[in-house]
Amino acid sequence: MKKTIFFVIVLILTMGSTNAFATEKAVKSDTEILAVPMSGNKVMEDEVINMNERLEEIRDMEKSELSAKDKKVLKKELKKKNKGLGTIYIGGATLVLLIILIAILV
């Protein structure tokens, strides 16, 4: 009996606290929600095009004729460009959950 009363009191207290944390926030417009500003997209597209052209140049080079120093410079340049790329790491458990959710929803 004491256990059930305790659980009921805890349940009431936890349900009542949700209203205390709920505050109204100002609704943001679509431009404020965007992570990347619309004006910066053209600059980023140009950078991506330039980066792809440079990578194609490096890929098409005859690297056997280059000296060791030149190869190091190219390698450092490629590493620097790869660091700038964004990557997403998904853990095993997250991947399993995503697969299960997709299987359930489809």
| Block residue for tokens 């404020």 | 32
DSSP state of 27: P
Predicted TM-score of the model (pTM): 0.38
Alpha-helix runs per DSSP H in the chain: 2-21, 30-33, 41-60, 68-84, 92-105
The domain ranges of the chain are: 27-105
Contact 70, 62 (CB under 8 A): no
58-80 residue pLDDT tens: 888 888 888 899 889 888 888 88
43-52 residue pLDDT tens: 677 887 888 8
Residue 70 identity (one-letter amino acid): D
